[in-house]
Amino acid sequence: MAVLRAVDDLLVEEGYAAMTMKGIAARAGVGKQTVYRWWTSKAEILLEAVMQDAREELVIEPEATTPRDFARFIEAVRLFLTESHAGIAYRALVGEAQHDQRVAELLRGSDALVVAARPVLQRAIARGDLSREVDLANAAADLLGPVFFGVFTGSAAAHPAPRPHTRRR
Amino acid sequence: MAVLRAVDDLLVEEGYAAMTMKGIAARAGVGKQTVYRWWTSKAEILLEAVMQDAREELVIEPEATTPRDFARFIEAVRLFLTESHAGIAYRALVGEAQHDQRVAELLRGSDALVVAARPVLQRAIARGDLSREVDLANAAADLLGPVFFGVFTGSAAAHPAPRPHTRRR
DNA sequence: CGGTTTCGAGACGCCGCGTCTCGTAATCTG
DNA sequence: CAGATTACGAGACGCGGCGTCTCGAAACCG
């Protein structure tokens, strides 16, 4: 769909602020009504446009050990959230969900970060570094939470790459 | 200031959706211009109204051991974020910051959760359960991240109280 | 070629933020 | 006490976004 392509391009070239329905439609050379024919809201378009990119950008080359694997993945997530256009849109989307019930429901259960964490966690399980019975959603939250928190509260501005879990050195 | 009182009341009685500048002013029995005389934006009012409540609601009775202390604090944070009116406003504020640079700067460095985590972490240090040299901001992110992630992505809807760190049982 | 469907364009209604204006009420001054 | 001056409640206004509605032209079909 040309609309999704337009969303991606707009995101890259003009930034999130320009991501208006009118802008998207114009960029796609399409009437607004046509956009609303396939998606019911702006959030829905964004979600679809962003998820594909997110999954591609969050695939990492496996490292030899679990700690390294985790660290690399976390750094990828940090970069995604702070540098990638898709990541910035993702943040806007999650942000919107905090005060818009409909967006929240849209996101529920299809979180890009959790999906991306799955293979990493499964590698850890295969290596025996993570209990086989662990709940993947909880493990993903443990792994992603700290970076996510840092980026969302803006407290991660300074230092480059925190470690997966507490206690350095 | 009667305006802050009005914000609190509105938040409790009408919910976040009703938190409009017109509504706040009307509720406070004040003209909008008067509100803008003391605060430059809606985010600024919200921040001020929410921070006080947040700090009060996030003080917990110290537990005997660090793991229990952490668990109790995390549960308090989870309740704050999902049930408290102030917490819901906090989420809206952090959400807004994801696509509004000005709000992001407003929040930077004054995060209510990090502030609330400080005494908990210091108790852990005093008990020798946490290295004295640990960076408090990082430790706070490790402690708060998982809950924060769960609530913000909506994946925490189901289960009541996750543990501080990985691996249950 | 005539009828029907699709679609781009954009006007419109609605609502929120933040600014501007006005008339009244409170305060100050002689 | 009265006239001048300031503070402030009320709300009109401009702007911009989302989502809906309308229209006329183009594409498609028989």
**Residues B52-109: pLDDT tens digits?**
899 999 999 999 999 999 999 999 999 999 999 999 999 999 999 999 999 999 998 7
**What does A46-106 look like in DSSP terms, one character per residue?**
HHHHHHHHHHHHT--PPPSSHHHHHHHHHHHHHHHHHT-HHHHHHHHHHHHHTT-HHHHHH
Give the residue from B155, B159, B167 with the most A CB atoms within 10 Å of its CB, the best one to mutate. B155
How many angstroms separate the CA of residue B145 from the nearest CA in chain A? 4
Cβ atoms of B94 and A94 closer than 8 Å:
no
Helix (H) or strand (E) holding A22: helix A21-28
Please judge whether B99 and A94 are an interchain contact, meaning their C-beta atoms are less than 8 angstroms apart.
Answer: no
| Long-range contacts (CB closer than 8 Å, 24 or more residues apart) made by B12-17 | B12/B85, B15/B85, B15/B88, B16/A99, B16/B88, B16/B89, B16/B92, B17/A99
- Of all nucleotides, the one whose C1′ comes closest to residue A42's CA is D18
Kindly state whether A144 is in contact with chain B, defined as any CB-CB distance less than 8 angstroms. Answer: yes
Helix (H) or strand (E) holding B73: helix B66-82
A20 closest-nt by C1' vs CA: D17
Q: Which residues of B touch A16 (CB under 8 A)?
A: 99
| Window 96-135 of A, Cβ < 8 Å to B | 96-99, 104-105, 107-109, 111, 113-114, 130-131, 133-135
pLDDT tens, residue by residue, A102-149: 999 999 877 899 999 999 999 999 999 999 999 999 999 999 999 999
If you search the block for the tokens 């240090």, which residue do you land on?
B125
State the Cα–Cα distance between residues A142 and A138, nearest whole angstrom. Answer: 6
SS3 of residue A109 by DSSP: coil
Mean pLDDT (chain A, rounded): 90
For B121-147, the pLDDT digits (tens) are 999 999 999 999 999 999 999 999 999
Residues comprising chain B, all counted: 169
How confident is the model at residue A1, as a pLDDT? 65
> Which pLDDT belongs to residue B129?
97
Give the least confident one: A43-52, A67-76, A138-147. A43-52
Taking CB atoms within 8 Å and a gap of at least 24, the contacts of B23-32 are B28/B2, B28/B3, B29/B2, B30/B2, B30/B3, B30/B6
Contacts of B142 in chain A (CB under 8 A): 145-146, 165-166
Bases in strand D with any atom closer than 7 Å to a protein CB? 8-12, 16-23
Residues within a 7 A CB radius of strand C: A 25-26, 29-34, 37; B 19-22, 31-33, 36, 40-43
